Amino acid sequence: MSAALYAKAHRTITEIKGPLVFLQSVPGVRYGERVTLVDSAGNKKSGQVLEVGEHAIVVQVFEGSDGLDKKGTTVFFSGDVVKLGLSEDMLGRVLDGSGNPRDGLGEIFPEVERPITGSPLNPVCRQQPFEYIETGISAIDLMNTLVKGQKLPIFTGAGLPANRVAVQIARQVIRQSKEELIVVFAGMGITSREYNYFYKEFQDSGALANSVLFLNLADDPTIERILTPRLALTTAEYFAFDKGRDVLVILTDMLNYANALREISSAREEIPGRRGYPGYLYTDLATNYERAGIIQGQKGSVTQLPIVTMPNDDITHPVIDLTGYITEGQIILSRELDRKGFYPPINPLPSLSRLMNLGIGKGKTREDHRQVQDQLYALYAQGKELEKLTAIIGSAGLGETERKIVRFVERFESEFINQGEIPRTIRESLELAWDLLSEIPRTELRRVEDKYIDQYWRGARP
Amino acid sequence: MIIGKISRISGPVVHARGMEGIKIRDLVRVGELGLVGEVIEVKGDYVAIQVYEETDGLQVGEPVKSDGKPFLAELGPGLLGMIYDGIQRPLEAIRDQTGSFIARGATGDPLDRTKRWHFVPTARRGEHVSHGDVIGWVQETPAIQHRILVPEGVSGKIVTIAEGDYTLDEPVAELDTGQQLFMKQLWPIRRPRPIVQKIAAGVPLITGQRIFDVFFPVAKGGSAIVPGPFGSGKTVTQQALAKWSDADIVVYIGCGERGNEMTEVLTEFPHLEDPRTGQPLMHRTVLIANTSNMPVAARETSIYTGITIAEYYRDMGYDVALMADSTSRWAEALREISGRLEEMPGEEGYPPYLASRIAEFYERAGRVICLGRDKRSGSVTVIGAVSPPGGDFSEPVTQNSLRIAGAFWGLDARLAYSRHFPAINWLTSYSLYLDALQDWYTQNAGPDFLEMRRELLEILQKEEELKKIVQLVGRESLSEPDKLLLDIARTIRDDFLRQNAFHEIDAYCPLKKQYYMMKAILMFYKACQDMLSQISYEEIRKLPGWEHLSKMRYTPNDQTESFFPKFIEELSAVSQEAVA
């Protein structure tokens, strides 16, 4: 964020609590206004007005309130809401969670400044997404296709390789688009190990030149995490809608973001909703996630790939749950597949891409894509049930067809899902799918029309 | 005009002072930008206002103005085909003003003031008219005649009335009392529009969706809820109902949901045909879009804006279907505002008045005798999606809705995982309208329709019991009739209940075709049962009939009558051949 001239200085702090500073009211302060606090040692911190009244003002301090005191701290009101300076020079840069350079390469001179909260996109101006993004991962491309303008989160558990999957996707989509696409990466509360991993991966693969990284580390101030995704999305909107680029935004980890929100809420003594999260968690998450899409008659798109950790692998956790209600599907990583040593351990059953239909089919992927996906799902779901059954009664209780379906599940997991880091084109994924389906008797393929079976199925004909 | 000053700003809730004479629910304009808000609390010397737009940048001391009136919906010709936000601002007009992103303080007339509508009077000079009487009509869209009604508080003898082209601001008639009648009227959205009386429901809302029409129908004028965890297909279900149900008018409220989903409706509806009239669906649809990132207070209002528009068309004598997706977001908006008011929370942080608010809303559904001398009847059917946290139906919004709604369509994550859509659980769902609709089905759908429905449900019920046994001892140890039952249950599930909302034919299934499909399945089942004594189970499994049953839903709808009687005949003939 660029420096500004501060007109009003105040020393009227009455109370400091957690990340919040309470001041006596001063006239002319705006709701949502950006604030700078200077402590008695001369250290600067930034904050935002959370509440204005006739008697008191509440300010949240992004860098945390450590070192602030009632008497020696001066508060400057900037007269304006929190803004981010934007320019094309941001490409290839690494910034911190407040938007300041972290790579030591100097200041970025902004071309424009924008409020980081953004405005809602008018639903009548949205362009319905229509184009798929090839990630090179069969479990996504074929089973849960990612579409430009979509928001598709990855739900992961502690220790599962979500970051590796995210980086792999970032690399692949940049390469696939012939560097037309840019990645904006926001890390909230990531560890220094993860930081090194991301930085190295982005640099080594050459993806960094087409990326902007906003990184708030685990030991950086928690409250800063409230800003980080908004900075990333403001940057993404700038590149997409000012510069006409396709932008993929990776937000990791939105759980840390939500926890920062909870911290502020509890410091404000608000009535908590589920598990202590504030009642407005849905609205707040939505103001971030909804900043994805395409505008009619304009080039450029914002696609979001947020990563959210499921605490204790619990998919009903409020942050996961609300994310699932806002986003357009979800990719879920499975501990079971990971334990078997499969990578990427994407569990197709609970995963879903709601916009898939818009991006696939004739002229886009292939005409049989929808039905093949449907069939794979049905067989995999049925096979998983049979696996459970086999565990109880043994495979002797199964019929011949059922044994074939169990065999299908094994191959599906070990070959189709477990593809490693080597990307597959959508055609290669479809070919492999038909190879698996060809072991299933034709009469069991109820979800595929005859014409596609005739064309692609290679099993023994009766 | 009441003018006060802002004294406190906290998110969407703003306090103001010096607003003497202001009433609860009065509409106010907040700050220099004139943000739209509503008074929700009058306390001591200040009032609390929920603001329908983002409050960033507001200052203490900025003016708050009100003319002392509540928020009024504008009703008249031109509503159909419109897309509004939660406070009835036309989103297309706002685009023209502020571009692709919605800026604050934007305003627009809900109805076009310049357009001239051709008014045809049906009332005559000298006739005495009062509230609810029809004085004439306007052809609003090719399929819908917009009847012009006498508004509340107006009555007298018509002095002048004439056919002609009028704008909404020009009177079309004048009464001896000096009152003028316009084609548009205003109505406070939180007050139900008055009626003569509610009457019993007796006609189902035919949806073209087999699971609803056959298993769990909702009556015209009834209410249904669709709860389900995320990804279970609430929105696809709601959209399928909006597309294919046989209502005259559809009001679709996107309440705190995804922007891209509203775009989908906007992109698809103009190209889809109403199966009954052949007209584009948009010609009978009003959309209210308040996506999740649009201001939370307007989300709370969107539900009332929508149902007021629905009631208005009902009062003309139409059958209206209202889809609210999702009522949970509305309840959460209530919770959020309640929290900002520092009210004592009830269950899960929701305000204690949640139950009564939900009840008030669903009770605005109904089949009614409308006001007016001609005793016409109309209906509003309400279908509310519910998004329970974690898919847990014991939460307050689902439970409070259940108490009111007459049909419960429970979505099931397990069905969704195996891509069985619509993922409605046939064992837990129910409809309380079956008794009321019995006569209608017997007369219009076939005398044996409900009997076949019962048989299908019985098979599925038995399947559930058998599955438990299979889990213990394996399928191979079942008796042959039981194995056959499992097979036919699978056919019912896969080939009858499953319906592809994206397939050009299967998306809509006429009632007659549903009837024949049931008949074919049951006939084939009966034939197989008979054969079991003569040929082995394995041979029965190899009959081509199974595959034929699985493809019958793709039979073009207009060939229903030419295809099915023959198909059923062949099915039984082939089966007899197998035995021979």
Task: Assess whether B121 and B249 both reside in one domain.
Answer: no
Q: Are residues A230 and A318 in the same domain?
A: yes
Is residue A287 domain-shared with residue A426, that is, in the same domain?
A: no
Q: Kindly report the CATH number assigned to the domain that includes residue A247.
A: 3.40.50.12240
DSSP letter at B273? Answer: B
Domain boundary among B381, B399, B434: B434
What pLDDT was estimated at residue B580?
67
Alpha helices by DSSP H, listed for B427-552, are 434-444, 449-473, 480-491, 511-531, 537-541, 545-551
Q: How confident is the model at residue A311 (pLDDT cuts 50, 70, 90)?
A: very high
Provide the token pair at B231.
């990804």
Task: Return the pLDDT at A462.
Answer: 52
On whether both B362 and B290 belong to a single domain, the answer is yes
3-state secondary structure A152-186: CCEEECCCCCHHHHHHHHHHHHHHHCCCCEEEEEE
Any domain includes A395 = yes
Contact partners, residue B317, CB within 8 Å, separation at least 6 = B147, B370, B376, B377, B378
Q: Which of B329, B339, B413 is facing A271, going by the closest CB pair? A: B339
Distance CA B228, CA B420 (A): 14
| B560 and B449 share one domain | yes
Domain residues for the domain of A33 are 3-81
Main-chain dihedrals φ then ψ at residue A442, nearest 5 degrees? -55, -40
**Lowest model confidence (mean pLDDT) among A4-13, B309-318, B396-405:** A4-13
In a domain, B100, yes or no: no
Beta-carbon contacts of residue B124 (< 8 Å; ≥ 6 apart): B158, B161
Q: Which of A347-351, A396-400, B210-214 has the lowest mean pLDDT?
A: A396-400
Instruction: Please provide the DSSP assignment of B195-252 as one string.
Output: -SEEE---SB---S-HIIIIIS--BTT-EEEEE--TTS-HHHHHHHHHHHS--SEEEE
pTM reported for the whole predicted model:
0.91
For residue B307, pLDDT over 70 is answered with yes
pLDDT for A461:
61
Q: Let me know the angle formed at the C-alpha of B256 by A145 and B357, rounded to the nearest 5 degrees.
A: 140
What are the pLDDT digits (tens) for B528-537?
998 888 888 8
Nearest to B35 by CA among B14, B20, B19, B21: B14
Q: Are residues A67 and A108 in the same domain?
A: no
> Do residues A141 and A135 make contact, with C-beta atoms less than 8 angstroms apart?
yes
CA distance A155 to chain B (A): 13
Amino acid at A346: I
SS3 at position A224: helix
Final residue of a structural domain among A81, A110, A130: A81
Distant-in-sequence, close-in-space partners of A66: CB < 8 Å, separation ≥ 6: none
Which residues 411-440 of B are in CB contact (within 8 Å) with A? Answer: 413, 416-419
What is the tens place of the pLDDT at every residue in B417-469?
888 899 999 999 999 999 999 999 999 999 999 999 999 999 999 999 999 98
Give the domain extent around B229.
Answer: 74-95+196-434
pLDDT above 80 (res A1): no
Task: Please count the CA atoms within 13 angstroms of the CA of B522 that sit on its side-chain side.
Answer: 18
Other C-beta atoms within 10 Å of A292: how many?
Answer: 31
> Is the per-residue pLDDT at A3 higher than 80?
no
Cβ–Cβ contact A352 with B under 8 A: yes
Structure token pair of residue B452: 């076949």
Last residue of a domain, one of A55, A81, A107: A81
In a domain, A200, yes or no: yes
* A115 and A77 housed in the same domain: no
Query: Do both A69 and A105 map to the same domain?
Result: no
Is the distance from CB of B366 to CB of B198 less than 8 angstroms? yes
Residue ending a domain, choose from B434, B464, B491:
B434
Triad B25, B28, B31: Cα angle to 5°: 145
Burial class (CB in 10 A: 0-12, 13-18, 19+), A70: middle
Last residue of a domain, one of B35, B53, B70: B70
Report residue A4's pLDDT band, with 50, 70 and 90 as the boundaries: very low
Inside any domain, residue A281: yes
Give the A window 158-197 contacts with B, CB below 8 Å. none
Look at residue A462 and tell me if it is in a domain: no
Residues of B in contact with A451 (CB under 8 A): none
N residues, chain B: 580
Tokens (6 digits) for A376? 């794979």
A410 at B interface, C-beta within 8 A: no
A374 touches chain B (CB under 8 A): yes
Which of B95, B256, B387 is closest, CB to CB, to A125? B95
pLDDT higher than 90, residue A19? no
Beta carbons of B263 and A446 less than 8 Å apart? no
- Do B206 and B352 belong together in one domain? yes
Residue B439 belongs to some domain of the structure:
no
A221 falls within a domain? yes
Is residue B300 a contact partner of residue B333, using CB atoms and an 8 Å limit? yes
B112 in a domain, yes or no? no
Q: Are residues A137 and A236 in the same domain?
A: yes
Question: Do the beta carbons of residue A248 and residue A129 sit within 8 Å?
Answer: no
pLDDT at B230 over 90: no
Q: How confident is the model at residue B576 (pLDDT cuts 50, 70, 90)?
A: confident
User: How many Å lie between the alpha carbon of A201 and the closest alpha carbon of chain B?
Assistant: 32
Query: Cα-Cα-Cα-Cα dihedral of B390, B393, B397, B399, to 10°?
Result: -160
Query: pLDDT, tens digit, for every residue of B119-154?
Result: 999 999 999 999 999 999 999 999 899 999 999 999
B534 within domain boundaries? yes
Give a yes or no: residue A364 inside a domain. Answer: no
Give the single-character DSSP code of B43.
E
Going by the DSSP 8-state scheme, the letter that residue A67 receives in this structure is T
Same domain, residue pair A100 and A117: yes
Under the banding of pLDDT at 50, 70 and 90, the label for residue B369 is: very high
Quote the Cα angle for A436-A438-A441, to 5°: 120
Domain co-membership, B397 together with B532: no
- As a three-state string, the secondary structure of B154-180 is CCEEEEEECCEEECCCCCCEEECCCCE
Question: Considering only CA atoms, which of A355, A344, A335, A336 is closest in space to residue A137?
Answer: A344
Distance between CA atoms of A108 and A85, rounded to whole angstroms? 8
For residue A117, which residues of chain B lie inside 8 Å, CB to CB?
54, 56
Residue B65 and residue B30: Cα distance in Å, rounded? 7
Residue B207: inside a domain: yes
Q: Which of residues 300-359 of B touch A (CB under 8 A)?
A: 329, 332-333, 335-336, 339, 342, 345, 348-349
Residues B339, A280: C-beta atoms closer than 8 Å: yes
Give the DSSP H or E segment for B134.
Answer: strand B134-141
Answer yes or no: is B108 within a domain.
Answer: no
Which of chain B's residues have a Cβ under 8 Å away from the Cβ of A295? 100
Decide if A381 is inside a domain: yes
A21 and A152 in a common domain: no
- Per-residue model confidence as pLDDT tens digits over A159-195: 999 999 999 999 999 988 888 899 999 999 999 898 8
- Would you say residue B508 has pLDDT above 90? yes
Distance CA A348, CA B440 (A): 44
B382-411 residues touching A, CB cutoff 8 A: 387, 389-392
Domain co-membership, A237 together with A334: yes
Which residue of chain B comes nearest to A121, CA vs CA?
Answer: B101
- Which residue from B minimizes the CA distance to A284? B293
- Separation of alpha carbons B294 and A123, rounded Å: 10
A359, A385, A414 — which closes off a domain? A359
For residue A43, give the CATH number of its domain.
2.40.10.170
> Which H or E element spans position B238?
helix B234-244
Q: Which of B230, B334, B473 to probe by mutation at the A interface, max A CB count within 10 Å? A: B230
Same domain for B512 and B488, yes or no, is: yes
Residues of B in contact with A322 (CB under 8 A): 389
Count of structural domains within chain B = 4
CB contact under 8 A, A378 and B55: no
Per-residue pLDDT, averaged over B496-513, amounts to: 92
Residues B384 and B532 in one domain: no
pLDDT at position A2 over 80? no
Position with higher pLDDT, A397 vs B28 = B28
Give the whole-angstrom CA distance, residue B261 versus residue A334: 28
Q: How far is CA B182 from CA A54, B89, B171, in A?
A: 46, 21, 5
In a domain, B451, yes or no: yes
Band (pLDDT 50/70/90 cuts) for residue B323 is very high
Do B176 and B148 belong together in one domain?
A: yes
Q: How many beta-carbon pairs below 8 A join chains A and B? A: 221
A255-298 pLDDT, tens per residue? 999 999 998 888 888 888 788 898 889 889 999 999 999 999 99
Residues B61 and B161 both lie in one domain: no
Indicate whether A19 and A150 sit together in one domain: no
Give the Cα separation of A268 and A226 in Å (integer).
15
Distance (Å, whole) CA B332 – CA B324 = 14
B434 by Cβ neighbours in 10 Å (0-12 / 13-18 / 19+) ranks as: middle
* CB contact at 8 A, A185 and A213: yes
**pLDDT of the residue at B261:** 85
Q: Are residues B465 and B429 in the same domain?
A: no
In this model, does residue B57 exceed pLDDT 80? yes
Decide if A53 and B8 are in contact by the 8 Å CB cutoff: yes
Residue B35 belongs to a domain with what CATH number? 2.40.30.20
Question: Based on the domain organization, do A201 and A340 belong to the same domain?
Answer: yes
pLDDT digits (tens, 9 = 90+) for B58-103: 999 999 999 888 999 999 999 999 999 999 999 999 999 888 988 8
Q: How many domains does chain A have?
A: 3
Average pLDDT value for chain B: 92
**How close, in Å, is residue B470 to chain A by CA atoms?**
8
Q: Which residues of A touch B392 (CB under 8 A)?
A: 316
Burial-class residue B356 by CB neighbours within 10 Å (0-12, 13-18, 19+): exposed
Task: Indicate if the pLDDT at residue B44 is higher than 90.
Answer: no
Residues A116 and A244 in one domain: yes
For residue B505 the two structure tokens come to: 């034919």
pLDDT of residue B215: 96
Q: Which residues contact B96 (CB under 8 A, 6 or more apart)?
A: none
| 3-state SS, residue A388 | helix
Task: Inform me whether the C-beta atom of residue A22 falls under 8 Å from chain B C-beta atoms.
Answer: no
User: What span, in angstroms and rounded, lies between the C-alpha atoms of B53 and B301?
Assistant: 12
d(Cα B215, Cα B425) in Å, to the nearest integer?
Answer: 11
Q: Is A389 among the domain residues?
A: yes
CB-based contact, A318 to chain B, within 8 Å: yes
Q: Is residue B10 part of a domain?
A: yes
Tell me which H or E stretch contains A83.
Answer: strand A83-86
